[in-house]
Structure formats: structure tokens, C-alpha cells
Structure 1
Amino acid sequence: MKKHNYSAGPCILPQEVFEKSAQAILNFNNSDLSILEISHRSKDFVAVMEEARALALELLGLEGKGYQALFLAGGASMEFLMAPYNLMRENGKAAYLDSGTWASAAIKEAKFFGETVIVGSSKEQNYNHVPKDYSIPADADYFHCTSNNTIFGTQMKEFPDLDIPMVCDMSSDIFSRNIDFSKFGIIYAGAQKNMGPAGTALVVVKEEILGKNGRHIPSMLDYAKHIKAESMYNTPPVFPVYASLLTLQWLKNLGGIPAIEKINNAKADLLYTEIDRNPLFKGTAVVEDRSTMNATFLLDTPLHTDTFNAMLKEAGIVGLPGHRSVGGYRASMYNAMPLESVQVLVEVMKDLENRV
């Protein structure tokens, strides 16, 4: 039976990425060696890293604009620590937007480095919307935000124009929609949503903002050192980087971000239309902030839960339960999710309505 994988991450990737990755595990570049065993200093893998870094910048429209792309270990959570280490001055301060669980985790780490000003928060409303009309202190060393809140199904639709660096966690919607990426000083994203398997994070840094905070930075946490070493300061996560490269190649061949944005909007429109139409379901996020990546919704009554879950299983739909802290359902519709899978889910929702 075909599976329709709505997992929030690690999640679905393009079928051709699975196939090429599987082949590389057996025999990479006809070398009779596995991608899992080759040296990260080998000519073959150096080429992979160089192309992956260049292609990330190309797809984001940041080529030749003073940015460097890095593939680092530690996941996006490591960047909660690295961003303030690299940007916050001694006795400095940073501004943070609290829009969800991961934004809150980033704030927790930043507090170890200096004053952390929370300019807006939707915590009291269980993060059902993205805070707006906030004011960012002009003397902050940087402003940090989270573009898409995976757990609560909300997404920033606009970003401020600032004279200070803007740092953004784009883990769950990077490469999914058109944004003026040149607004940001640092963009970071765990690979396991729209880019590859878990094990690496993409960090895109505007070089000119580094080296200005006067702080001693441990070598492994220093963006400048990783840039100088061309993302190989230590042994990189070879396989996740390779699979990420394959995904970026797939996206480029598809037509890049403009092409995938149209597909993602079609998927989200289809599902949200059914959520709003069907009396058995209701969305949990404020409509204007609904995420195109993660649609969160509830059943009108727990009485239908067992029936709906059984229908989902019968249809081959997996990964739909909401995060344990929220409950309900969460349909994660990342780039590789085909429209067909969303159509299957919508049909199950309609069938439930007809049954009860």
C-alpha cells in the first residue's frame, strides 16, 4: 500500500533522493566505496560539499551578495547557542520574538549571553498566532525570529526591515516560499524538513556581521572559523550533506522556489478549504497566520477519534497526530509531499462526514 507520510520531521523526501542515496550507500560515484565510508577530504566529497553550499545560496538568491553557506552538525538547536555567541556583545542585548516552542528554546539559550528582550509573545494564547506590532530596540545586537512554527501551525508572512542583523530559524519552511532572503544576517535550518535527513543544519551567514562583538568564541562555535575551513573545520556529516545536495538538485530541476511555492500553496489551500468547510473539523491557528507547511486541526468531538484514526490507517496515511504538547492532528506538507497525498486526506475527511 502506498503510504502518505505527514510526519513533521524526519519526514518525506523526493523519491529520487531516496533512490540515489540508496545507490550511493552501496557504490558512490562508481568508486566501489560507500558514501558512508569515504574520506570527507576525498575529491568526490569535497565536490559534494562545494556544490551543496553553492546551490543553497543560488536557490535563496544570495549568490554574490556577501553570504556564505555552511553545513554543520548539531542541528538547528545548536544555532540557538551559536547565534548569540557570534553576534551578542559582552554586556549586550538581543531582541527575540516568542512565537512557539522552538522560539522559546532559542530565548532560553540567549539568556546565558546577555540581556534578552522578548518583543512579542503569543504564549498566553497557546501560540495560535504570530505576534505583530512589536517594537525592536534600535540598540539590540540582533533580532531573532522563527519563520514557521511546526508544532502550532503558524507562519510569519512578513518580516521587518531593520538596521540590525536579523537572525531567522527557518527549519520547517526553508526553500518553500519566496522571501527576500537578503533581509537576514543569519538563516539557519535543520535539514530534516525540506532538505535532507536529520544530522546536519544549513547555516547561511552574511560575513560582514561577524567578528564585531568582541567576545571570545570557542572554535567549534565560531562561524568565521567554519567559513574559513569551507564547512570542514571538523569531519562533516557526510551522508546528510549528500542527501541534502540531492534534494537541492531536485528542487532546482523543478524550477526552484517559485515553482515549489505554487505547489505548496495548492496543497495548503486544498486542505484548509476542507477544514473550514467540514463541520467535523476546526483549525487551531489564526487564519491569517496559517502555515503552508504544517496545518493543525482538531475533531469537533473525541467520539469520532477512533473512527477517523482507523480510516486514516486504511488509507495509508501516517504521521498525522499532532505534537504531544498540543494534540489533535498536524498535516506536515513539506516540499516533497505530493498533491495526491493531500487529496487522499481530504477524501478521508469527507468520508468521515458522510459516515457520521
Structure 2
Amino acid sequence: MKRPYNFSAGPAVLPEAVLQQAAAEMLDWHGSGMSVMEMSHRGKQFEQICDEAEADLRELLDVPQDYAVLFLQGGGLGENAIVPMNLIGRREAHAADFVLSGSWSVKSYKEAQRYGDIAVAATAEQPAELDGSQQGPWTYMPDPMSWKVRPQASYVHLCSNETIGGVEFMDWPDPAELGVPQAVLTVDASSHILSRPMDVKRAGLVYAGAQKNIGPAGLTIVIVRKDLLGSALPICPSAFDYALVAENRSRFNTPPTYAIYVAGLVFKWLKQQGGVTGMESRNKAKARLLYDYLDTTDFYRNPVHRPVRSRMNVPFMLHDESLNGEFLQAAERSGLLQLKGHKSVGGMRASIYNAMPFEGVQALVDFMKEFERSHG
């Protein structure tokens, strides 16, 4: 039976081949007689799974050896607290600066205020005139040259893809280029990690919830430069102290074993697709197909500044919003699921992560054209 196309922003679609392999291995992983969910996290079978997943992730993102790769729990929201508890104490001022580009960076900023002296380096909260057109709030990325990062900041935080607003930062700035080499760049890459090459070396820390482009909810990836380890605040729980987790190869406590296993299958699938370079080519084609159509019609519109339109999350609005309910019902009947936009933005949103095939985006565009034809 043909599966419908799932455009959920997360938990999101997984590669069908990965789901099939996980199903085939559910009762007996490689002759062990156990499901991965039944294994000891300290046993040799799971150690193999975990170590292979780390090695494959390192290969995919070209992670240098002076960076630790950690498999944690708590999601991106959890990291909003865990990051400052680990990094803000590395400098005497206990200060951190935040670039506000949408809902998720604002959440990160608010949570960090519990742990130190937190300031806004730049914000897209206000409308702005860009390239001769007026952009609304949260539809553009503040130019890095306009960021005001304090010299005493331990780190500067960036959400490089705003899942709700559909804004993507393509090139991470090096803090040295901003004149603040001591302020480590920390990046929330949850909703576009592994969708394209990323220069991990430009950041001191990259984190990502798994449930968008990596695997099931419950796993969080942290990639952190090793010289940043060891400065956790006294209030930091041991299970979230990056130094302890790194020392124990992500097995200080019981990790999300099954989520790590599925993520490992996704990493191997990505390597078969040509790695992140191959995925970037596919993702560009999918995004181009959808945006090109949106730019040729007045029936729908995308509000995001064109140079920073996300390849992963595409919000769009119907010109006549009274048709929203009918659009969603008709889309679901056509096998196009979870297109409703976030409640804070409204409209529609198509999340077209790595596992969404080109055919799924083509089916969406064909449906949108037909809906426009019958309701225009």
C-alpha cells in the first residue's frame, strides 16, 4: 500500500527503508536474540550500535577529532538549559548573547536567563526594509555584521533554521570575524542538520533534536569542542555535564538506546544517498520546485525574505484564509498529511526534510495547483 506523504515539522517522516529495516530487526538484532530495546546499554551489542552511529555521524559532518559527539536526552528545549549550564561558566562574567530570529531562538534566550547575564545581540522582531521590500517580523535573519556581541560573552547563540518561521541561516559566522574571538558560536541546528554540508569548526557547539532529520524523538545530538568541556556550573545535573558524558562515550547513564539505533540506520541511509552533499542537491531541487510555484501565483504567498528561505520548512498562506479548513481537509483526502501551520503563524507549512522524496513535493504542488484552479 502506498504511504501518504507526511509533511509534519516533527516528529517527522523517516526513510521508508529505515523503517523496514527496524521492523525486520525488531525481535532479533543480528542474531543476538534480543530487540535493541531489550539490550543493556553497557553490553557489547549496544556498544557496537552506539560507536558505529557516532563514527558515521562524524563522517557525514566531517567532525574533527578535537570535538566530542554526544548522544543525550532532553530535546532542543532541554539544551536551552543544558548549554548555558555547561558553557556560561567558562568566563568570569557568566554572560551569553543571543541572536533572535524566531520562536525557537526566543525560547532559548528566555531559558538561558535563569543561568547568567543574558543579552540580545540582534533581533528580527521588528519589520525591516530589505532589498527594496518591507519584511515583517521574524521573516528575515539579522545581518551578522549588525550583531552586537559583548566582549565578555562566553558564547553567542544562533538558531540556524527556524522551524516555525521558515528562516534559514546558510553560512555560520566565525566569532573572530565579528571581533569577539572569545565568544564561542553555539548553534541550534535541529531542523536542518544533515540536510547540507555544515562547517562544524566555525562553531564551538552544535546541537540538534533528532525528531526532524535524524530519527525518533527522545535523542539529542551535541557536537562540542573538547576544550570547552569541564566548566559546568555546580547546579548542572551529572547526566547533562558534557565532560562526564564525553568521558563515558554517551553511556554515563542509560541513553535513549532505540532512538540511537534508528539514528544510526538513518546515518547509513544518508551515506548511501551520497552523504550530505547528495542530500543538499536533492533538497535544493525539492525546495526550488515548491518556491518556484509559490512565486508564480497570487493565490498563495510565502512571507520569508528570499535569501533566507528555509529548504526544510516552507510556510505559506492562502490569499483567502477562509479556505484554510477546506484546503487541509482536501489535502488529507489526497494523502498529504500535517500541512497545518504553527498556531503562532497560521496558514500552512510543508516540512520537506531529507526523508521526504521529490515525488512528495511534486504531489503537493500538483494538489495546490488543482485547489487554486477550483477555488480561484
Aligned to 1:69: 69
User: Aligned match of 1:333 in 327, 352, 365?
Assistant: 352
Scaled by the length of structure 1, what TM-score is found?
0.96
Q: Match of 1:29, SS?
A: coil
CA distance in 1, matches of 2:48, 2:335: 39
Q: Match of 1:88, SS?
A: helix
Q: What is the deviation of 1:306?
A: 4.2
Aligned to 1:284: 303
The question of whether the paired residues in 2 share the 8 Å contact of 1:165 and 1:209 is answered with no
Q: What is the deviation of 1:347?
A: 0.5
CA distance in 2, matches of 1:313, 1:52: 35
Equivalent residue letter for 1:82: I
The question of whether the paired residues in 1 share the 8 Å contact of 2:314 and 2:351 is answered with yes
Q: What is the deviation of 1:126?
A: 3.6
Equivalent residue letter for 1:149: E
Aligned to 1:59: 60
Q: What is the deviation of 1:122?
A: 1.5
Q: Match of 2:294, SS?
A: helix
User: Aligned match of 1:96 in 95, 98, 121?
Assistant: 98
User: Aligned match of 1:142 in 155, 167, 179?
Assistant: 155
The 10-residue stretch of structure 1 (81-90 or 234-243) with the greater mean CA deviation from structure 2: 81-90
Aligned to 1:345: 364
CA distance in 2, matches of 1:54, 1:34: 22
CA distance in 2, matches of 1:98, 1:129: 10
Q: What is the deviation of 1:37?
A: 1.0
The question of whether the paired residues in 2 share the 8 Å contact of 1:278 and 1:353 is answered with no
Aligned to 1:79: 79
- After TM superposition, list the pairs within 5 Å mapping 1:239-318 onto structure 2: 239-318=258-337
1:167 and 2:167 matched: no
The question of whether the paired residues in 2 share the 8 Å contact of 1:260 and 1:335 is answered with yes
Q: Please list the CA deviations of residues 308-349 of structure 1 after superposition, one character each: whole Å capped at 9, or x if unmatched.
A: 234312320001110111110000000010000000010011
CA distance in 1, matches of 2:163, 2:325: 25
CA distance in 1, matches of 2:303, 2:155: 31
The question of whether the paired residues in 1 share the 8 Å contact of 2:328 and 2:340 is answered with no
Q: What is the deviation of 1:212?
A: 4.6
1:121 and 2:123 matched: yes
The question of whether the paired residues in 1 share the 8 Å contact of 2:109 and 2:118 is answered with yes
CA distance in 2, matches of 1:305, 1:112: 39
Structure 1 residues 30 and 112: CA distance shift in structure 2, 3 A: same
CA distance in 1, matches of 2:6, 2:232: 44
Q: What is the deviation of 1:61?
A: 0.8
1:201 and 2:220 matched: yes
Q: Please list the CA deviations of residues 197-250 of structure 1 after superposition, one character each: whole Å capped at 9, or x if unmatched.
A: 001101111101223577564312210000001100100111000000000010
Q: Please list the CA deviations of residues 59-109 of structure 1 after superposition, one character each: whole Å capped at 9, or x if unmatched.
A: 111143x01111101112111111111111254211111111111111112
Structure 1 residues 217 and 310: CA distance shift in structure 2, 3 A: closer
The 10-residue stretch of structure 1 (168-177 or 212-221) with the greater mean CA deviation from structure 2: 212-221
The 10-residue stretch of structure 1 (128-137 or 213-222) with the greater mean CA deviation from structure 2: 213-222
CA distance in 2, matches of 1:304, 1:109: 37
Equivalent residue letter for 1:17: V
CA distance in 2, matches of 1:216, 1:95: 21
The question of whether the paired residues in 1 share the 8 Å contact of 2:93 and 2:153 is answered with no
CA distance in 2, matches of 1:5, 1:325: 21
The 10-residue stretch of structure 1 (107-116 or 222-231) with the greater mean CA deviation from structure 2: 107-116
The question of whether the paired residues in 1 share the 8 Å contact of 2:230 and 2:242 is answered with no
Q: Match of 1:325, SS?
A: coil
Equivalent residue letter for 2:102: G
CA distance in 1, matches of 2:150, 2:220: 29
CA distance in 2, matches of 1:345, 1:96: 36
Gaps in structure 2 of 5+ consecutive residues: 127-135, 176-180
CA distance in 2, matches of 1:170, 1:73: 16
Scaled by the length of structure 2, what TM-score is found?
0.91
Q: Match of 1:28, SS?
A: coil
Count of residue correspondences:
355
Q: Please list the CA deviations of residues 161-217 of structure 1 after superposition, one character each: whole Å capped at 9, or x if unmatched.
A: 112311100100000112211101111000101100001101111101223577564
Q: Match of 1:277, SS?
A: coil
CA distance in 1, matches of 2:333, 2:232: 56
Which 4+ stretches in 1 moved above 4 angstroms?
Answer: 212-216
Structure 1 residues 218 and 314: CA distance shift in structure 2, 3 A: closer
CA distance in 1, matches of 2:32, 2:245: 28
CA distance in 2, matches of 1:180, 1:191: 19
Gaps in structure 1 of 5+ consecutive residues: none
- After TM superposition, list the pairs within 5 Å mapping 1:200-239 onto structure 2: 200-212=219-231, 217-239=236-258
CA distance in 2, matches of 1:36, 1:266: 37
Q: Please list the CA deviations of residues 121-161 of structure 1 after superposition, one character each: whole Å capped at 9, or x if unmatched.
A: 12244411112222222221111100100011101122221
Equivalent residue letter for 1:38: M
Aligned to 2:131: none
Q: Please list the CA deviations of residues 19-56 of structure 1 after superposition, one character each: whole Å capped at 9, or x if unmatched.
A: 11122222111222111111111111000111111211
CA distance in 2, matches of 1:292, 1:265: 7
Q: Match of 1:113, SS?
A: coil
